[in-house]
Each structure stands twice: as structure tokens, then as C-alpha cells.
Structure 1
């Protein structure tokens, strides 16, 4: 039985990107006549077939095979656009900078334009957001924000969606992220291996799944080590705010039973922990150990430099866009669930030696 011809085969035959093939087959934009003809000839040569097809009337000046040798088919779609939307919680968090760079790199390779929005999408405004995507004639959406499963299902019924960092196992949306639970286990177990037991968690908003998973992992490891965790050791912040974290950590360090370690869910919060320790006349790392998360520039610029969990941020963004391009090109392509590896980078906030595992 012969293998089914895919849109990737057509792209390889025509020596163009999958997105370019999709734009021609969807009759969605102005593609150079020479490129268009090359793609159509590849379609004919390979016998590529796809669903939801209607006969297309050739445009003026367009060269097509002689009648009877092939038929040209195109998806029924809205007018052309090369715009994808990226929904991001905030542009001010340095964590997202490398992810944005990765998205831009992939989008540029596929001749896509990127529009960023920090709209908090929920059941009340999802219809308005969909109208926005229609107004922009967007052909796909990458979401880094947190919202409900039902909201995600509504979005995926309207246009191709890929989840990045924050994700559900949704049958209609691929995702790329990390294993927050395993990464947290690595960090807490490292602190335990250093002989410390009084470990505090500085966590982000629980509306985000990363915060839920990191809290669950922290509690599980501490429970397995038979360590009782006072409520004050779990610092639950309403937002990733350095000043708010500093104030909260100073309060915990001034309590009758202060911790001697902090695991913070971002490097910015870890920097706040170091500042709070110094404010309380404690030394890092001799008195207090600190681990951050993300391996942003802050982790290297802080004094002392911060031990942190490295996320492959650029790769997360790049792969998210690649998965979206694949879904745009072939709406019936399989849903992919990708978790990229993390790494514990050891720096001065947990050891007096100037070493790094990078």
C-alpha cells in the first residue's frame, strides 16, 4: 500500500515552506506566479489530495496544466492573511523575551507576521476575542496565557491553536512546554542533598498551571522527606512582583521559625529572596540557600549569582510556532504534546564555589 502524499511532500518537491504551499492551496494571498505554478505542478505530479475542496477559477495570467491532466482544488477559507496572534500574560516579564525571539525566528522563516496581545481571555470575552481574530484575519494563535479548558475548546473550534508553557491535554490543540513537576522535584531534592530541610516555596498565582504543579511537587517531596511544612513557608503571591516578594520574604525570615532555603518559581523572585536575606543580615549561601527558575539574565547578574532551573525558552517559542505552521498547513494533522528538558544550573546562591553546569 503506497504512502499517502502529504503537504510536506509538496513543499519538499517545490522547494518552498509548508506555509507557502498552504497559502497557494487555500488561495489566500498574493504568491509570485512562478512560485505558485511550481507548487501547482508539484501537486499534480505527486497527486496530492485534501478535503473540503472546490474547483478554483484560475486568475488572469496564471499558467495551469492542460484540461484533463489535473484539477486544481482549494480549501474554502476566509481572505488571505499571514498574521498569527500570540496571547501572552505580560510583556514586562523578562521570562518571555527569549520565547518571543523564538516565535519571531520561526514566523520570519515562514513569512508570517506576529501580533502580540495580553488580553486575559475568558468565557465572558472569548467571543469578542474571536471577533478580533476575524478582524485581523488571523490564521493561527499561540497562547502562553492561562485560561479554562472550555475557553480553549472554543478557540480551537475557530482557528488553529498551539499552547506554549501553559497547557491542557486538549484533543484539538498541540502544546510545547516543560515538566514543571519534575523540575521542581530536582530543585527541592538538591536543597535536601545540601543538608537543608527548612525549605520555603515562593510561588506565583495559582491560576497558572505551572504554579499549581510546582506547589504540588514541593509538597510531595517535603512530605516524602517527612518534613512538616509550616503554612508560613509557602509564600503564595498574587503576581510575580519583586517588591511584593521582598516584603513577604522579610516577614517570613523575621518569624519565630524561619526557613534556611528558598525555592522561587522565577529568577526575579529569587533575586528578591537574596535581597530580603541581606536586609535581615543573613548571608547567601552560608546562612540562606536560594534557587530560582527560568535562567533569565537576572540569574547571572544578581549578587550572588542565582542557582536556577534552566528552561529552553527560545526553543519553546520556536517549536510552538513550527507546530502552529504545521496545523495551519494541514488542519487534520495529529495533535502533538511536546515537553522539553530542563536543567539545574548551579551558581553562587547555593555554593561558595564559582561553578556553573551550563
Structure 2
């Protein structure tokens, strides 16, 4: 029997049984994909620990809330698909919400705290910083994907190797003979944008290539920002011969701006994106890009949120998944 006042958790039962928290959760929720011997051992320990599941831990409750700042785009939908696929595998319910404007009153964060949610996953945007802090103060287990600011010890987050990805994209263009390479990226304060831009600058500096101030444009990770950024770059007296875009959506905007000027991609302008969302391979031409494992990031975020909800401490407060350059037809050797 457990001591009075101490609540047994999935993590404690899992440690006693020598299995993962996910396995104990499957037994609690009646899942069939657990061996009979393991199931019997876990059930005995659940009784021994006098385990009482929270209301949200039953299969019928809404367990995890994932929320997005602003509109859902190609990036966010692929992250969401990863969360949903993992939730289906683990038999966890998910509630999806979007935040289109900040809630300075804290009412939304209080609602989440009072709702019985086991944890929350936030896909960060600029105005959500206040709300993330409110959720943290309300002691709601929280995981953030691509946090706006640099990873903090008190905030558990999941991202990708943005700096390495930025270097790989720029190095690919350098290997193709380009030296006049522009950058069109996202919010100037976003940590992921800063890392991609730092990788871009690092690759150029390693080759002794200066970066003109007018060659770097920031905005949002949206198509229209790619159009606007490329229009600026292509209007310069000495325009770039290649552009590294901070997202695939931005890259598609860059290609549209080139098209309206009568320029051909990649013959007149080489373009490399970042994300490798589904539409990247469907464009004309198919987009060379840096693959960010968006679906996997969503899956890791959900599994991490469940571990936090079960009382486990994360091995690392920030996890970065590897990026990979995907070469297609939107960038060619300089002629």
C-alpha cells in the first residue's frame, strides 16, 4: 500500500515493473498489445500501489491539448499529423485548438489548467510567449515545438538541427558555384530563424564570401513574405543568383516572384527551401530543400508530454532531431 497523501503515478508503477510508462498506460487503458505475463505483473503492481487513474487518463477523456498560434499551414499540419499518428498508436485522445490573438487575462490558460488535461503541446508563435508562461505557472506539463526564444531549462521543447540545416543548404549552393546568395526567412526573433540564418552566414564566411546587408530579408514563414522578400532581392542593382529560403512556403513565394519577372527557376535563379513539406516535391520545379522531420517532431512532443504527465523527468529539456538536405531540381550549377 502507498503512504497516505502520496499518489501513485504511472512512472512509479513502471519503475517497479521494469517496463516503460507507455506499457503501463496500455494496461490501464485495456490495450491488447501487451504480453499476458507483462500485463499480469503490471496489474498486480497497480493493485499493490493502490493506483487510481486521473479522470483524463481513461481512454474516454481528452488527455492532451495541442495548440497553434495563428493559422494552420503546411508546416503545422505535418506536425499535427505526427501528433495524431502517435496518439492513435498510444490510444490517447487529443484536442486541437488555435490561438489567433493573445489572451492577456490568462483565462485560456486557466481553462486548460482546470480542464483535467494531462499535458499541453504548443507550436509556438510570437504572441504565445505570455500564454506559455501562464501555462507553466499553472503547472500544466508543457512541451513546445520550435520555441520562439532559445531553449530554457524550465521549458521542455522539441526542435531540429536548424543551424546545421542552414549550413547544408548554403553549402549546396556554394558547391554549385553560387557566391551571390540571398536569404529570405521568418521572424527575426524566432530561435529557429536565427539558427538557420546563422548557418547561412557561417557557410558563406567559411568560404570568404561577404553577405551584403540587403541580401537578408525577414518576415513570417509565409508565401507572401517569400514574394515580398524576393521582389526586394531581385530589384537590387546586383541581385543574387541563388536564394536560401527559411521555409518551403517562403521558397514557393520566391519562385512566384521570379516567375512574375520572367525569370526561370533554376536556370536564372536557384532556390533552396527548408522543411520538406508535402508540396515541396510537387512544385514546378520540385524543390531542393532541407528536410525537417516535422511528423517525428510531433510524435516526440506527444511522447515527451505523456512522460511529463506521468511524473517522469526528461533526460534533456531540449531535443533536436536531425535535418537532411533533399536535392531536387530547383537549384543548379551557376552558368
Aligned to 1:261: 242
Unaligned runs of 5+ in 1: 25-30, 49-63, 65-69, 353-358
Q: Indicate if the aligned counterparts of 1:82 and 1:111 stay in contact, CA closer than 8 A.
A: no
Q: Does 1:350 align with 2:331?
A: yes
Deviation at 1:310, TM superposition (A): 0.8
Q: Does 1:327 align with 2:308?
A: yes
The CA distance in 1 between the partners of 2:280 and 2:196, in whole Å, is 19
Aligned to 2:205: 223
Q: Does 1:129 align with 2:108?
A: yes
Match of 1:208 among 153, 171, 190: 190
Unaligned runs of 5+ in 2: 1-10
Higher helix fraction: Structure 1 or Structure 2?
Answer: 2
The CA distance in 1 between the partners of 2:226 and 2:315, in whole Å, is 42
Deviation at 1:349, TM superposition (A): 0.8
Match of 1:84 among 48, 64, 83: 64
Per-residue CA deviations over 1:203-255 (Å, capped at 9, x if unaligned) read 11123221122222222333333322222211112x23323422431232122
Per-residue CA deviations over 1:104-140 (Å, capped at 9, x if unaligned) read 1222233322222222686834x32321203432110
Q: Does 1:250 align with 2:231?
A: yes
Aligned to 1:355: none
Per-residue CA deviations over 1:46-82 (Å, capped at 9, x if unaligned) read 5x7xxxxxxxxxxxxxxx7xxxxx562558x677643
Aligned to 1:72: 50
Q: Indicate if the aligned counterparts of 1:11 and 1:17 stay in contact, CA closer than 8 A.
A: no
Report matched runs for 1:297-312 at 5 Å: 297-312=278-293
The CA distance in 1 between the partners of 2:56 and 2:229, in whole Å, is 52
Q: Indicate if the aligned counterparts of 2:70 and 2:125 stay in contact, CA closer than 8 A.
A: no
Q: Does 1:118 align with 2:98?
A: yes
Deviation at 1:293, TM superposition (A): 0.9
The CA distance in 2 between the partners of 1:90 and 1:120, in whole Å, is 5
Deviation at 1:348, TM superposition (A): 0.9
Distance change (3 Å), C-alpha of 1:195 and 1:13: closer
The CA distance in 2 between the partners of 1:135 and 1:74, in whole Å, is 19
The CA distance in 1 between the partners of 2:329 and 2:49, in whole Å, is 66
Higher alpha-carbon deviation: 322-331 or 222-231:
222-231
Structure with larger Rg: 1
Number of residue pairs matched by the alignment: 313
Per-residue CA deviations over 1:292-335 (Å, capped at 9, x if unaligned) read 11111221121111100011111111111111112212244544
The CA distance in 2 between the partners of 1:110 and 1:160, in whole Å, is 18
Q: TM-score scaled by structure 2?
A: 0.79
Indicate the SS of the match to 1:97. helix
The CA distance in 2 between the partners of 1:333 and 1:231, in whole Å, is 41
